[in-house]
Structure 1
Amino acid sequence: MGSTAVVVGGGIGGLAAAIGLCRIGWDVTVVERASTLEDAGAGISLAANGLRALDELGVGEAVRDASRGQYRGGTRTPRGRRLARMDGAALENAVGSPIMGIPRSTLHRLLRDSLPAASLRIGSEATSVEQIGPGTVRVGCGDTVLDADLVVAADGIGSKVRNRLFPAHPGPVHSGSTVLRAITEHAVDLPTDFELTWGRGVEFGHIAFLDGRAEWHAVLSLPAGTRFADPLTELRRRFHHWHDPIPALLGATRPAAVLHHDVNELRTPLPSYAIGRIALLGDAAHAMTPHLGQGACQALEDAVVLAAALGTEPTVETALARYDAERRPRSQAVARAAGQAGRMGQQLSHPVAVALRNSAMRLTPSRITMRMLLRHHAWVPPHLT
């Protein structure tokens, strides 16, 4: 089997894939088009399945040390009435860890620091990817050409590699929602580690960090391309009457810190995650809505399964066939569940439907809620040898 790989994309999934390949003895080059890695981004929640994947990659302990466990929290109405309570201790007993909250920039830095600096090609865009023979894939990066035994396309929801491999695929579509998010400038007194609040066609949530700061997000049901001249002022207008600590979170935020993105998804599943010696990973393969908090976790699972297959199968082709067979059913099932969660949660807007959902949530036994979480969280990774 070959031993050189090019990873297209230096996000969380791409870096995790590179770490996994390095751990099985491959020479890896990560091609990232951004000219600088500014550690930008808001926050992220990591469930037990993502943390187990990080353990296999050798960075789980460092990530846990930089994260805050989500033990207290749940879901509320805009007036503060409790719909569901999150029991982080029970989740920890069931799967070994509560959900952990960490700034995305911190996770990215910890992954990047686990790779040899020489393996990162920053400011280098992959302009072409083609298989030039039975055992070689060529990546063009401007004036530079990289030949490898394997290419891992981790170039995000707008993946150009995916578009080349599947030109007839419709690609990502707008989910019907847009999200604004930021990290507070200073610590905020929060009674919970994590919380979601559902209104009619809108969600507000927060994740508390170790240093007392918090990430908040507001998901609104709006057409694609909707933007506000002053996003923070607009959010303060929309949420000023919602329960504490929502106004305080917005009040602790600098206007320049607010990020605004439409929520897109790969609604039409791909028929395969690999063609020849090119594998798709993370959002390039299965971009999903954020309503289950599983996007990054699924990319981390991809990375470990890919490395394990390449470390044990006799050829790259058989390894990629195994990767596709293991990852496509699970990740696409999680993507469908995330879309359904959004339709029954944040995107629900009819007052009667909202009232029925809220009543159902209050009456649902905690064991049923736990069973739903375990379906996604209780994943056991293969060992990397």
Structure 2
Amino acid sequence: MRERTAVVVGGGLAGLASAVGLARSGWHTRILERRPATGEVGAGLALPRNGVAALNTLGIEEEVVDQAGLRTLATGFVDTLGRRILTLPDTDPRVRRATTIWGFHRQALHALLHRAALREGVELVDGARVTHVSAGRPGGEPAVVRWQRDDGEHETEAGLVVGADGMWSAVRGSLHPGVSPRYSGSTSWRALLPVSALEGTGLDGRLVEYWGPGAEFGVMRVSADQVYWYGYVRQPERTVFDDELATARAYFADWAPEVVALISATTPDQLMRHDVHHLPDGPERYDRGRVVLVGDAAHGALPTMGQGAATAMEDGATLGRLAGPAHEGDLGRALAEFDALRRPRCQAIAKQARSIARVGADLGGGWRQGLRNAAFRLIPASRLVVMARGAVEWTPPEPLAPA
């Protein structure tokens, strides 16, 4: 077993970011991906400024990010009829910096990272289902990953294992069997449409989010020719609808005309839905032995902060910086520092996401809506900058000095 061999479990956004970061720091890196071929499902996502800063740290220039995604702005929140609740002014440079986002088709961001991984010499193994991980010990025995493929069972030793296998992580299950996702109480429809669907709606493609009783609807452009919408609603877990599109149309039938128009322009093959889970009680540490957890496997949060992809990019960039060549034989210190940096930040973001959900998509109807809307209309732009800065103003850590 070579000391500088890393196995990344999971080939999604978090796994690719971690693999790129480690490969750039001199690790011989292999990704084990459960799906038959590395790829990414999903519709759109908004990547805040901190996510782009992390991509830059991984060697992906901002100009390249602009080519793959679409730089735009978050405009704030409105009610079900499109009336202002909280407006993010684009004339204030401080607010504009905090509300600048990049819209992505999720597959486009995945492809960007996939190309970067190949450039760095990362080995990609698809169809590999991990069944168990032994943590090993820095300075001692290696970590061991057991996995299955069509050609049989395999066992791999590694100097470092990265659990990047999502909310239902097999790596986390091996090391933290008591930690499991919890249903948020909401499910989410999503769709990608041609940008022509915006015509006549009064929407310009910037992100706008509608809040209503137990529901949220959002829309934004994710490329020059695509627009993304989501409908996030309270619903019992594993609910089955005979007709997904008809149900979505009926649910939002009394909302603003532009919301109704976008759902009406959607065809059944463009629509998807998933129940939303999160990790309100994550692992007590992100590192154990020679294993470290990243992305949703470590800190799966509610989507209400829009930070899921961004924090995954940060994880990969941070891991590459801390586990660099200076730490031959000092992996335990590097991983402990990763935990010390990442866990408090990600826990704070997850807590804020839960708070936003309580006053946003999860808020009940009646007087609660009016009270919330009136209160939010009084929030000044300066307060918004303070609230957003902690999340979006991220810089990568300096490499640790040799001990």
Q: Is the structural similarity TM-score above 0.5?
A: yes
SS at match of 1:188: helix
1:185 positional shift: 4.4
The aligned amino acid for 2:83 is R
Residue type of the alignment partner of 2:32: V
Pairwise mapping of residues 127-138 of structure 1 onto structure 2 (< 5 A)? 127-131=131-135, 134-138=140-144
1:264 aligns with 2:277: yes
Which residue does the alignment assign to 1:121?
125
3-state DSSP of counterpart to 2:341: helix
Question: Do the aligned residues in 2 keep the contact of 1:72 with 1:194 (CA within 8 Å)?
Answer: yes
Q: Tell me, in whole angstroms, the C-alpha distance in 2 between the residues paired with 1:207 and 1:276.
A: 42
Aligned length: 384
Letter in 1 for 2:129: E
The verdict on how the C-alpha distance between 1:141 and 1:197 changes in structure 2, with shifts beyond 3 A counting, is same
What corresponds to 1:110 in structure 2? 112
Counterpart of 2:349? 334
Q: Report what 2:28 is aligned to.
A: 27
Q: With the length of structure 1 as denominator, give the TM-score of the two structures.
A: 0.94
Amino acid at match of 1:136: P
Q: Note the 1:200-215 alignment, pairs <5 A.
A: 200-215=213-228
Give the AA of the match of 1:79: L
Kindly state the Cα deviation for residue 317 of structure 1 after the two structures are TM-superposed. Answer: 0.9
Q: Are the structure 2 counterparts of residues 228 and 60 from structure 1 closer, same or farther at C-alpha, using a change threshold of 3 Å?
A: farther
Asked if residue 296 in structure 1 is aligned to residue 348 in structure 2, the reply is: no
Equivalent-residue separation in structure 2 for 1:328 and 1:115 (angstroms): 25
Q: Which residue of 1 aligns with 2:386?
A: 371
Structure-2 residue corresponding to 1:151? 161
Q: Helix, strand or coil for the counterpart of 2:370? A: helix
Equivalent in 212, 221, 232 of residue 199 of structure 1: 212
Matched, 1:184 2:180: no
Instruction: Give the alignment of 1:15-164 within 5 angstroms.
Output: 15-61=16-62, 62-71=64-73, 73-88=75-90, 90=92, 95=97, 98-116=100-118, 119-131=123-135, 134-142=140-148, 143-164=153-174
1:343-369 deviation digits (Å, cap 9, x = unpaired)? 111100142221111001111111111
CA deviation map 1:54-75 (0-9, x unaligned): 0000124222222222236321
Is 1:185–1:253's contact at 8 Å kept on the other side of the alignment? no
Q: Give the Cα–Cα distance (whole angstroms) in 2 for the partners of residues 173 and 57 of structure 1.
A: 32
Q: Structure 1's 338 and 91: CA in aligned 2 closer, same or farther, altered over 3 A?
A: farther
User: Separation in 2 of the partners of 1:47 and 1:345?
Assistant: 20
How far apart in 2 are the matches of 1:137 and 1:309? 19
d(CA) in 1 for partners of 2:292, 2:308: 18
CA distance in 2, matches of 1:243, 1:168: 44
Deviates more, 1:185-194 or 1:173-182: 185-194
- Does the CA-based 8 Å contact 2:102-2:222 persist in structure 1? no
Deviation string 1:76-115 (CA, Å, 9 cap, x unpaired) is 1111111122335646777488111111000001100111
Root-mean-square deviation over aligned CA pairs: 2.1
Q: CA deviation digits over 1:21-54, x for unaligned, max 9? A: 0111111000000002344211111111111000
Q: What's the TM-score once normalised by structure 2's chain length?
A: 0.90
Q: Distance in 2 between matches of 1:3 and 1:270?
A: 26
Partners of 2:132 and 2:174 within 8 A in 1: no
Give the residue type in structure 2 aligned to 1:53: A
Tell me which moved more, 126-135 or 273-282: 126-135
Return the alpha-carbon distance in structure 2 between the equivalents of residues 75 and 372 of structure 1: 15
Specify the alignment match of 1:353 in structure 2: 368
Counterpart-to-counterpart distance in 1, 2:358 and 2:92: 27
Give, as a single letter, the amino acid of the residue that structure 2 aligns with 1:214: V
Is contact 1:185–1:254 with CA below 8 Å preserved after alignment?
no
Q: Please give the alpha-carbon distance, in whole angstroms, between the structure 2 residues aligned to 1:89 and 1:69.
A: 16
Contact 2:98–2:388 at 8 Å: present in 1 too? no
- SS of alignment partner, residue 371 of structure 2: helix
